[in-house]
Amino acid sequence: MKYLLVPLVALALLLPAAGAAARIPDDPALLSLAAAGGAPSLPDEWWIPRSSFPAAWDLVNGDGAKVAVIDTGVDGDHPEIAPQLRAAVDQDANPEHGPATVDENGHGTHVASIACAASGNGVGIAGAGFGCGLIVEKTDLTDVSIAASIIDATRRGADAINMSFGIDGHEKPSQALADAIDYAYRRGVVLVAAAADRPGHEQGAPANLLQPRGTGSQLSAGKGLTVTAATSADARAPFAGRGSEISLAAYGALDGDRGAPGLLGAFPGNRTSLERGDSACGCRTTYHGDSRYAYLSGTSMAAPQVAATAALVRRLNPDLRVRDILRLLKRTARRPTGEGWTPDLGWGILDAGAAVEAARTIDRGAPTSRMLLTARFGDGVLLRWRGSDPAPPGVRSSGIARYEVWRDPPDGPARLITTTTDTTLVLPAAYGVRSRYFTIAIDRAGNRERS
């Protein structure tokens, strides 16, 4: 993958804070100013530096990470999509809609590209998850189809599942959908749903199953994240959902007076249903000679940025639990007004760099220890052991805090003898009694060695 070294001072208007040079992939949308008719003072992918993705990419890329996109399918031949496809599964009961690698609507291709478009190839756009693989689950938006998609994506090893859709909030979600969400949550998948594209307080399913009503302001509540849309002016987009089911926000639209209304993303080569009829989107654009791109705005475009960030966090620190990642993404979100949770932006606007940096400091891995010597020493027994607190590359180990020393006699249960910070100990021992000794290490983060 190719990079350009770009001093952050050149992007000062786009970044929350300045620092050292950042690695910027050479995709034109990150560097060219309004090549496709967007706001003239901003790069076409202005939201990437604004959400500190380059800072995240300095620490981790998405190689090996998988983001599942449950949507209308994708254009499997698109140069932004094809290299990233890891699986494409048709969960749409209507055979006229074609396989998962055909997107007759256009929405799925655009959403998938925001999450995981091919990056660093000198073409088009860069995906938020820089190098992440795509699991595409094509849905007909019935509860049965969505539930099957969630379960299948989980079984295929998705780190995060993006759901940029919703059903009427006044309808009760089916038990099948609730069970599928529980299934994915228990197996460590980060679930992300778009808030409604209307400024109401009810976000509909699956969003209201991930962040139920009244829980958005609770940092540890929920089984996933409901994402509303912010504008380039750091305010909630006028069309976007708000209220107690909102977890956080990500960029989904330019400010109203800044030119093109949406985010640049990949679009199918075929004519799509979004382009037909009285409400045709007028969204397709030719980008550097390729007409397979479009500008779309919405909470649908905000959600995949969060899903991709969750996958990057999981890639960097695979020991994190789902609830760790949910808390981390909320806690590190940027709060333009300085407040905590608000009904307009939830916990704030996604800050991918801060999220990945915070993930480096969370030690969830268990330490290890090994007995090296057990020998008679006068009237006692000499014990000597070694311990370590390994962590994934890039994650800071908290270090071992103490050891428990245990005696396991042949005729009874194991018993804790002492707790120590040393690695050598002499214990009294009766002659003729043969006992096994072992240690259990505990690190400074409170993780306990598995005995």
User: What pLDDT score does 167 carry?
Assistant: 77
Q: Comparing 367 with 430, which gets the higher pLDDT?
A: 367
User: What pLDDT score does 168 carry?
Assistant: 66
Strand partners, 425: 383
User: What pLDDT score does 328 carry?
Assistant: 97
User: What pLDDT score does 430 carry?
Assistant: 67
Write down the mean pLDDT value for the chain. Answer: 91
| pLDDT, tens digit (0-9, with 9 covering 90-100), for 251-272 | 999 986 555 679 999 999 999 9
Q: Comparing 193 with 12, which gets the higher pLDDT?
A: 193
CATH class of 368-443: mainly beta
For 375-382, the CB contacts below 8 A with 24+ separation are 376/429, 377/426, 378/426, 379/428, 379/429, 380/426, 380/427, 380/428, 380/429, 381/426, 381/427, 381/429, 381/437, 382/424, 382/425, 382/426
Mean pLDDT in residue range 274-281:
93
Q: Which percentage of the chain shows pLDDT scores above 70?
A: 90
CA dist 221 and 188 (Å) reads: 16
Is 19's pLDDT higher than 50? no
| Domain range summary for the chain, segments of one domain joined by + | 3-360, 368-443
User: What pLDDT score does 377 carry?
Assistant: 86
Tokens of 350: 């996604």
User: Does the predicted TM-score (pTM) go above 0.75?
Assistant: yes
Q: DSSP per residue over 138-192, as a string? A: EE-S-HHHHHHHHHHHHHTT-SEEEE-----TTSPPPHHHHHHHHHHHHTTPEEE
For the domain made up of 3-360, give the CATH fold: Rossmann fold (3.40.50)
Cβ–Cβ < 8 Å for 198, 241: yes
| pLDDT, tens digit (0-9, with 9 covering 90-100), for 20-64 | 445 688 899 988 765 445 555 678 999 999 999 999 999 999 999
